[in-house]
Amino acid sequence: MNSRKWMIACALMTAGFFGSGCNKTIDDQTAITDPSLNKDLMELISEKADLSTFAGYLKQTGYDAVIASSRTYTVFAPGNAELATLDAAVKNDAAKLKQFIGNHITTQVYSTKDVTSTTRILMANGKYLSMNGTAIGASLITTKDQYAANGLLQQVDKMLPALENTWDFVAGSQSPANQKAFMMSLFRNVFDATNAIVIGINQTTGDPIYQAGTDSIFTNLFWNKVADLRDEKKQFTLFMMQDAAWDADQARFAPYYVTNTADSNKLVTGWNVLRDLAVDTLYEPGSIPDTITSAFGTRVPIERSAIVNTIRTSNGIVYIMSRINVQPSSKLKTIVIEGENYNSTSHDRRGNTYFRERYNPVTGQDFRDVEVFNHGVALFNIRYQVEEIPSIKYKAYWVAVNDFQTAAFNQRLAPGIATATTFPYVAVPVSNFNEVYLGEITLAQYQPVYNFYLVAANSTTAAVNPLVCDYIKLVPSL
Amino acid sequence: MYSTITSGFRKALGLILFLGAIQGVTAQEPAAKKDTVAVIKIQVTGTILDAATGKGIVGARISLPNVSASITDASGSFKINVPTYFEDLLVTAEGYDGKQIPLKGRKQISVSLLEEGYSGFQDPLTSPLSIEPMRNTTSASSRIQLSNEWTKPNETLDALLQGQVAGLNSTRRSGTPGVGANLFLRGYNSLYGTNKPLVIVDGMIYDVNDYGQSIIANNYTNPFALINVQDIDNVTVLKDAASIYGTKGTNGAIIITTSRAKQQATHIDFGAYTTYNQQPSSLPVMNADDYRVYLSGMLQSKGLSSSEINAMPFMIDDTTGNPDYYRYHNNTNWQNKVFNNSLTNNYFLRVTGGDNIATYALSVGYSKAEGTIRSTDMNRYNTRFNAAFNFSKRFTGSANLSFTFNEQNLRDQGISDKTAPLFLALTKAPFMLDREVNDKGVTSPNFADTDILGKSNPAVLINNMQAFNKYYRFSGSFKFNYAISKTLNASTLIGVTYDKVRENIFIPRKGVADDTLSNAVADSRLGSQVKRLFAFYTDTRLEYSKTIRRYHQFTSRLGLRYQHSDAEQDYALGFNSATDDLVSVQNGLNALRQIGGGIGEWNWMNTYFNAEYGFKNKLFLAFNAAADGSSRFGTQVKNGVLINSNHFAVLPSASLAWLLSSENFMADSKIDLFKLRLSWSMTGNDDIGNYSTRQSYTSQNLLGMQGLVRNGIPNPALQWETGEKFNAGVDVSALNDRLTFTMDFFHSKTRNMLVYENITGAAGFNTILTNNGSMQNTGLEATVGVRLINKKNLKWDISGNIATIRNMVKHVPGGRFFTEYAGATLLTQGDRPAGLFYGYVSNGVYSTSTEAAEAGLKVKNADGSYTAFGAGDIRFSDINGDKLIDENDRRVLGSPMPEYFGGFSNKLTYRRFQLEALFTFAGGHEVFNYMRYRLESASNTDNQLNSVINRWRAEGQVTNMPKATYGDPLGNSRFSNRWIEDGSYLRLRHASLSYALPVKGEFVRNATIYVTGTNLLTFTKYMGYDPEFSASPSLYGQGIDTGLDPLYRSATLGVKLGF
């Protein structure tokens, strides 16, 4: 019979049903409606005749594959006419060209409508450019916000050259020579265990033993202590003094940093002058204030007339200055030693030591002090360690509040060693919240580390030998 | 409580028995007179023909019951003596569908009989109290003969009824095996009470309620899965006049009769089926490249800097500098990791037989259905024993016992962002891999952990999550029947149901995102739950039946139903077991364990009275009344009858049917049957909560201290919802029964509808349950069946049904209220349909900033500031014109209730082949595509549909997909008409081809092979996996695609053998 035909028909019908799996409506909904979204940025750029040179460079540097990939990019493309003026030195150096082209690509979408305040954007070469609306670096976006599947194309009216960063500028500059030389002299080997190779353990201390040469890095003190001028993420303002000004400043500040040797005197003086010359804020020439406060609290007066030259770098700006007249009074600071922040005591009297919260009716402020009472040690003392004290004369004061007994008692400040008698014993009367003048001390030499002692009366009687101190103040006397 | 109820009932019963007795006396009065013996002197002649061949049928039996009978001769001719020419003759013949023929004054008749099994108005209908031919019924009922449904062994009855009954909207819940369908018969009758029709299996109420949520996310344990459809003989869907079921009848009733022995000879039927389930077609989500572009933008919009984004392992494209390269540079089709093609096997054996003392039908079945979600399945073991006994001539009985055990492996589904594999498969980053990978790109057999974006690994949930559900039900009843006299009959049915559901879950720590509890972070999650139900049911009745002078048929019944149910739910949830190998709940941290549950115990007593009168087989009247008492009703109920301080709902109904075609003036008409039906009934809904009328307490944990707090404010005036129903219908059969047509108009109104009413804050609670709502439904249903071709070897039947329903809330307290579900807002308001989608209206996307500025619209933020819409944002309609897009700018977006639904089928029989096809459809409704709302929201790092590639990216771009913004501050993805879609569909639900093998052996009686396809074709504009889903039995969960496992296509090959 024709049962076989039936079977075949049935099988075909079933196969037809099972094959018809697609859902027309959802396919319509998810179809890509905009042809631009079927193109990646490289395809979009290749279509534009005016960007043929740029496209050529993209291929040459390998960036064509990057901007065709499935990450998002914004490409700032200068036209053929602009690129015609590209320096041959860049054009013919593969590394430099890659650096240059990389400065036109960023890995995010930056639309001119979205970037409404100055924004630093990271370019593919690791440098940053500032964008605000249609302004990018020193260029303007002419044809804006053209979208492709993986980002935006912005056509710009100028090239976006890859500038060197501030440190590279310093290292590569010829003048001013003296400040540069001093900055370059600050390279040191500094301990750093990050990449160290451990070759053993010290049997006594248990400390690791590192393979020689792996436990330190060669770095510049300026990077670590003032500003890492290589950092592309930040923006710096660096002042470089011309040689004459630099030398004059060295001479001017040398007396405050007297040391044993001329070399060390020069180093300390140089460092103290240099450290106030860089800040991690960008000051544009047009809006630079007359005084800048450095990270170390020094007020640095900037005379616009003294600006000899202005150099833009990828991470900031460098001003070459003919003169920076920093006042010693700004550089040499009052030293305040908080009583409770001592480094050691002559005897362990933690049981007799009190850290007190008090209110000062004279200043109207709360304060915290230290009191040692009934310690039973004659000439008991507390040691305070102060670092980097310039070689000048200081006037000494303290605030010591005796509100715990009705009788006054004596204590004294001893600089250098605990038995020093530079200052006399001074009575601490009942409830005196004022600063008490103690006398003067002149430091003949700059002291990298110096001790002050607060010494109790030479007695073991509790009421006679307490120590109390809110703070000790050393005011430079120039 | 129980004793007071019963004493109250005793009084009520007494009253009704008294009324019944009066009725009985009046009824018996004419019976006492001598019945007129018909004088047989007139002869009717005629022929009985085979409708297909036109040849006479030999040996057909013609009878006038209790008067005379005759048999056709070789040519199909007969002669029969009748008292008058105005009698109804019964014609039956072996292998043919019997017929009742009104003579209407004719002396000669010619009758064509269709083959046995042809469905028409002559078929017997199982109604609540009796079995009678459909032509005699006064109610709107549909009958479905299921003995042919062997071709669909994997269906549950609720889903199988789809498209087969006009007015019964069956919406399948999901594609999980055995999960079945939500049934709404003639619309919504209640907002917060049940809308499920009452289910009666072999005379006993079959409990289809829900006793506590599943601990497996969005799993539904379907009681219909405990009934093997192969066991079902026929189903009656009773749409109105259900007042006989009192306060359980407002949603109509589905009366199921399981198969029993039809002959005393032993018959063995065996069926074996294998089904291939095809994995649903994937939704087009973005591939790894498109996703990465999207993700970069999303991370940028989240506020990450270029260098942070560039440092992400998935952004570094070289293998040298990136040890994670191989982990983050793949292109995984996650949907394929979750879906698979699967197989289902099904075996069934039934033995029937017996002798003149007892007959029995014993069936056993086993099926193993695998889901299209990997690792999900359902095993079913079922057995059923039906027996009928003749203890003596007057004393008979029957037993119906069934036991079904289901075992399911499930997975979380729907809205469960961290643990539902399907949702995760759609949203997980395609550049990830399901397995661990080392730095060299070598893949491990171990599954990868939660990824860098915090997404669970769907493969872990498929392979390492455990979610078992084991449930079984024993349901058994005994019925005894005693014929006191020829006219008086007493019967009683006693049955019990014992049902238990046990669930266990374990969600591993590795590969699944942590969950946050109120006081801890949950890594692994464990749980166990047991739900029990014990129900006792009796139905006792006295039946009086008498025919007076052959033309007056009178039947009356008085009965009492009583049901006691005891349900309990206990669960324990644990968290943070020590390792992923410790999977049972006691291994969770003690401090985090959560234990809870609930109990529910209630009694229901239903006293019913029924009186039916039939005149000359052409006019039928019926009156029903029920008086219901329930432990759920309050003590201060205003309506009903107060008996012994208990309130009883008194619910009457009356119906009428007139067979115009049996009237003499239609003697020469081509119309075989023309019947008018009218019915009016009062019904009730007692689903008001077991303890809502009483003061109750619930346990609460406050800072580790366990205590009891009041569980809301009781409302002692709370009562049943009252349903008032009117139905007018017409049944037509013509062209020698080859054309049948039924049409019904109905109007129903729910009064005293349960609503949550707001109360003053000083009460300490926000709402109280009251009966202050009302709602109505108006609808039209039509069913038509035509035998197009009726040849000996070729028969072609087509049939179809359609229903249209207008639902209207008449009154709710406060005029209107909103319901939130799955991000959608649903409006319930007087003079509007219930549960309307209510949201914002979007009109595309602002292409440029200028356009947006011209529109000048803004939103108010949480801190009181304003944000203006910009380029790339959705252009929402500012409906109230205040330039502010807020909740006052919402409007009705559509209704999830289909305006029309139904089905149509074809049956083509050619010799031994039979081809059947059923199409189902629903239309005119809107659905909320929650999945698309999640997959096009473009507001987080989830993978999205390909359509999101079209998102707005730059000034001037014209698109309808808004820009991608982290967190969506302007609410572009808020509930709006963006997500509302046309839910209409037309589906080829079933197509099957069977071939009856010509067997001649004595051993095998018959053998049939089948090929059946399910869900073969779907025509829809819906963009999700499938337009059919139902997330919740509540009317507020309809039409919301929460991403449940989708329906799938399958093909079955089967064989049925008869011995």
Query: Cβ of A149 and B1020 within 8 Å?
Result: no
Q: How buried is residue B579: exposed, middle or buried, by Cβ count under 10 Å (0-12/13-18/19+)?
A: exposed
Structure tokens at B343: 């197989």
**What are A240-249's pLDDT values in tens digits?**
999 999 999 9
CA distance, residue A280 to nearest chain B CA (Å): 20
Q: Specify the pLDDT at position A3.
A: 53
For chain A, the residue count is 478
pLDDT surpassing 60 at residue B129: yes
The answer, yes or no, to whether residue B535 has pLDDT greater than 90, is: yes
Query: For residue A65, which residues of chain B lie inside 8 Å, CB to CB?
Result: none
pLDDT digits (tens, 9 = 90+) for A298-343: 999 999 999 999 999 999 999 999 999 999 989 999 999 999 999 9
Q: How far is CA B518 from the centre of its chain?
A: 37
Q: How confident is the model at residue A191 (pLDDT cuts 50, 70, 90)?
A: confident
Output the pLDDT for position A425.
94
Q: Residue B191: is its pLDDT beyond 60?
A: yes
Q: What is the pTM of this model?
A: 0.86
Q: What is the pLDDT of residue A96?
A: 93
- Per residue in B660-695, pLDDT (tens digit) is 999 888 888 888 999 999 999 999 999 999 999 998
**What is residue B17's predicted lDDT score, i.e. its pLDDT?**
42
Question: What's chain A's average pLDDT?
Answer: 90
The yes-or-no verdict on residue B705 having pLDDT over 80 is no
| A107 neighbourhood in chain B, CB within 8 Å | 296, 306, 309-310, 315
Let me know: does B135 contact B661? Beta carbons within 8 Å: no
**3-state secondary structure at position A419:** coil
Residue A472 near residue A337, CB atoms below 8 Å = yes
Whether residue B301 lies within 8 A of chain A, CB to CB, comes out as no
Crossing angle of the two packed helices A262-274 and A243-253, in degrees rounded to 10: 110
Distances in Å between the Cα of B904 and the Cα atoms of A365, B123, B800, B921, B990 are 91, 20, 4, 9, 11
What burial class does residue B776 get, using C-beta atoms within 10 Å of its C-beta: 0-12 exposed, 13-18 middle, 19+ buried?
middle
Helix A262-274 × helix A177-184 angle, to 10°: 100
Tens of pLDDT, residue by residue over A376-406, are: 999 999 999 999 999 999 999 999 999 999 9
Query: Does residue A8 carry a pLDDT above 70?
Result: no
Q: What is the pLDDT of residues B880-904, one digit of tens each?
A: 999 999 999 999 999 999 999 999 9
Identity of the residue in B283, B288, B993 whose CB atom sits nearest the CB atom of A26: B283
* pLDDT reading at B208 higher than 50: yes
Q: How far is B761 from chain A (nearest CA, A)?
A: 47
Chain A residue numbers touching B1049 (CB-CB < 8 A): 17-18
Tokens for B217? 């996310």
**Residue A7 — very low, low, confident or very high, per pLDDT cuts 50/70/90?**
low
* pLDDT exceeds cutoff 90 at A196: no
List all residues 6 or more positions away from B896 whose beta carbon is below 8 Å from its beta carbon: B835, B837, B925, B926, B927, B928, B983, B1038, B1039, B1040
Taking CA–CA distances from B958, the nearest residue in chain A reads A34
**By CA distance, what is A122's nearest residue in B?**
B306
Report the alpha-carbon distance of residue B698 to residue B1045 in Å, rounded: 34
Is B365:B353 a contact under the CB 8 Å cutoff?
Answer: no
Whether residue B306 and residue A32 make contact (CB cut-off 8 A), yes or no, is no
Give the residue from chain B lying closest to A23, CA to CA: B1023
Query: Among B289, B307, B993, whose Cβ lies nearest the Cβ of A122?
Result: B307
Please say if the pLDDT value at position B595 is more than 60.
yes
> Which residues partner with B171 through β-bridges?
B182
Both tokens assigned to B871: 């380029």
pLDDT reading at B22 higher than 60:
no
* Distance (Å, whole) CA A144 – CA A154: 5
DSSP of B5-39, one letter per residue?
HHHHHHHHHHHHHHHHHHHHHHHHHHHHSPPPPP-
Complex ipTM: 0.79
pLDDT at B149: 67
Angle between helices A177-184 and A243-253 (to 10 degrees): 60
Q: Which residue of B300, B305, B950 is in closest CB contact with A32?
A: B950
User: Is the confidence at residue B723, as pLDDT, over 50?
Assistant: yes
Measured between CA atoms, how close is B938 to chain A, in angstroms? Answer: 14
Output A15 or A293, whichever has higher pLDDT. A293
Q: Output the six-digit token pair for B296.
A: 């970069």
pLDDT at res. A299: 93
Query: Does B351 score more than 80 pLDDT?
Result: yes
Interchain proximity A147–B957, CB inside 8 Å: yes
Share above pLDDT 90 across residues of chain B, in percent, rounded to a whole number: 77
The DSSP H or E segment spanning B88 is strand B88-92
- For B293, the closest chain A residue by CA position comes to A71
Residue of A5, A12, A14 to mutate, interface with B, max B Cβ within 10 Å:
A14
Task: Please report, as a single letter, which amino acid is at residue B1011.
Answer: V
Instruction: Indicate the pLDDT class of residue B763, thresholds 50, 70 and 90.
Output: confident
Would the pLDDT of B571 be above 60? yes
Please answer yes or no on whether B949 and A32 come within 8 Å at the CB atom. Answer: yes
| B991 contact residues in A (CB cutoff 8 A) | 13
CA distance A148 to chain B (A): 9
Question: Which pLDDT band holds residue B39 (cuts at 50, 70, 90)?
Answer: low
Beta bridge partners of A279: A237
Q: Annotate B775-786 with DSSP letters as a single string.
A: EEEEEEEEEEEE
For range B563-568, the mean pLDDT: 95
Confidence check: pLDDT of A18 > 70: no
Closest residue of A to B1022, CA-based?
A25
Q: List CB contacts (< 8 A) between B1013 and chain A.
A: 14, 17
User: Could you give the C-alpha distances from A207 to A210, A211, B710, in angstroms and in order?
Assistant: 9, 13, 66
Calculate mean pLDDT across residues B201-230: 92
Judge whether residue B8 has pLDDT over 50: no
Residue B451 has pLDDT above 80, yes or no: yes
Antiparallel, parallel or unpaired: β A236-241 and A316-321 = parallel
Query: Quick check: B309 contacting A, CB < 8 Å?
Result: yes
Nearest of B341, B335, B344 to residue B178 by alpha carbon: B344
Q: Is the pLDDT of residue B16 over 80?
A: no
Chain mean pLDDT for chain B: 91
Query: Taking residues B925-949, what's their average pLDDT?
Result: 95
**What is the Cα–Cα distance from A400 to A427, expressed in whole angstroms?**
10
Residue of A nearest to B280 (CA): A21
A3, A24, A73, A108, best to mutate vs chain B, most B CBs in 10 Å: A108
Q: Residues A414-445: pLDDT tens digits? A: 999 999 999 999 999 999 999 999 999 999 99
Residue B155 reports pLDDT greater than 70: yes
CB contact under 8 A, A34 and B957: yes
Which of the residues B151, B279, B301, B306 would you substitute to probe the A interface, choosing the one with the greatest number of A C-beta atoms within 10 Å? B306
- Give yes or no for a contact between B906 and B968, defined as CB atoms under 8 angstroms apart: no
**Considering only residues 968 to 1027 of chain B, which have any Cβ-Cβ distance to chain A shorter than 8 Å?**
988, 991, 993, 995, 1011, 1013, 1016-1017, 1020-1024
Say if residues B682 and B651 touch (Cβ distance below 8 Å). yes
Of A27, A70, A111, nearest to B955 by CB-CB distance is A111
Which pairing describes strands B42-50 and A447-456: parallel, antiparallel, or unpaired?
A: unpaired
Tell me what pLDDT residue A29 has: 85
How far is Cα A81 from Cα B1052, in angstroms, rounded to an integer?
A: 72
Residues A69, B317: C-beta atoms closer than 8 Å: yes
Between β-strands B267-278 and B1049-1058, what pairing exists: parallel, antiparallel or unpaired? Answer: antiparallel
Helix A52-61 with A94-102: angle, nearest 10 deg: 120
User: What's the confidence (pLDDT) of residue A458?
Assistant: 93
Model confidence pLDDT, tens digit, residues B373-399: 999 999 999 999 999 999 999 999 999
Confidence class of residue B631 from pLDDT cuts 50, 70 and 90?
A: very high
Query: What pLDDT is recorded for position B757?
Result: 92
* Chain A contact present for B317, CB below 8 A: yes
Q: Could you tell me which residues come within 8 angstroms of residue B150 by beta carbon, excluding any fewer than 6 positions away?
A: B230, B271, B348, B1010, B1054, B1056
Q: Please give the pLDDT value at position B736.
A: 87
Per-residue confidence (pLDDT) for residue A16, from 0 to 100: 54
The whole-angstrom separation of Cα B483 and Cα B273 is 44
| Per-residue confidence (pLDDT) for residue A27, from 0 to 100 | 84
Give the closest of B292, B950, B995 to A71, CB-based: B292
Which one of A3, A10, A29, A234 makes the best mutation probe of the B interface by having the most chain B beta carbons within 10 Å? Answer: A29
Residues B748, B681 contacting (CB under 8 angstroms)? no
Predicted confidence at residue A15, as pLDDT, reads 55
At B1002 the pLDDT is: 78
- Residue numbers in A near B847 (CB within 8 A): none
For chain B, the C-alpha Rg in angstroms (whole number) is 32
Q: Does residue B180 carry a pLDDT above 80?
A: yes
Residues within 8 A of A (CB atoms), B 930-959 only: 945-947, 949-950, 953-959
Q: What is the DSSP string of A214-235?
A: TSEEEEEHHHHHT--TT-SSS-
Contact A18 B945 (CB under 8 A): no
Mean pLDDT is lowest, of A464-468, B121-125, B185-189, for: B121-125
Query: Which range (B232-241, B336-345, B442-451) has the least confidence?
Result: B232-241
Residue B11 has pLDDT above 50, yes or no: no
Confidence of residue B21 (pLDDT cuts 50, 70, 90): very low
Q: Could you tell me where the DSSP H helices lie in B814-964?
A: 849-855, 930-935
Rg (CA), chain A: 35
Q: pLDDT category, A374, cuts 50, 70, 90? A: very high
Of B309, B849, B1013, the CB nearest to A107: B309
**Chain A residue numbers touching B1020 (CB-CB < 8 A):** 25
Contacts 24+ apart (CB under 8 A), B83-90: B83/B38, B83/B39, B83/B40, B83/B41, B83/B42, B84/B42, B85/B42, B85/B44, B86/B616, B86/B664, B88/B64, B88/B616, B88/B617, B88/B662, B89/B44, B89/B62, B89/B63, B89/B64, B90/B61, B90/B62, B90/B63, B90/B64, B90/B65
Q: Which residue has the tokens 């009367």?
A: A429
Q: Are the C-beta atoms of B350 and B282 separated by less than 8 Å?
A: no
State the Cα–Cα distance between residues B331 and B430, nearest whole angstrom.
Answer: 5
Give the Cα separation of B64 and B100 in Å (integer): 10
How high is the pLDDT of residue B151? Answer: 77
pLDDT of residue B117: 83
Within its chain, how far is the Cα of B31 from the centroid?
A: 46
Which residue in chain B has the smallest CA separation from A233? B307
- Amino acid letter, A400: A
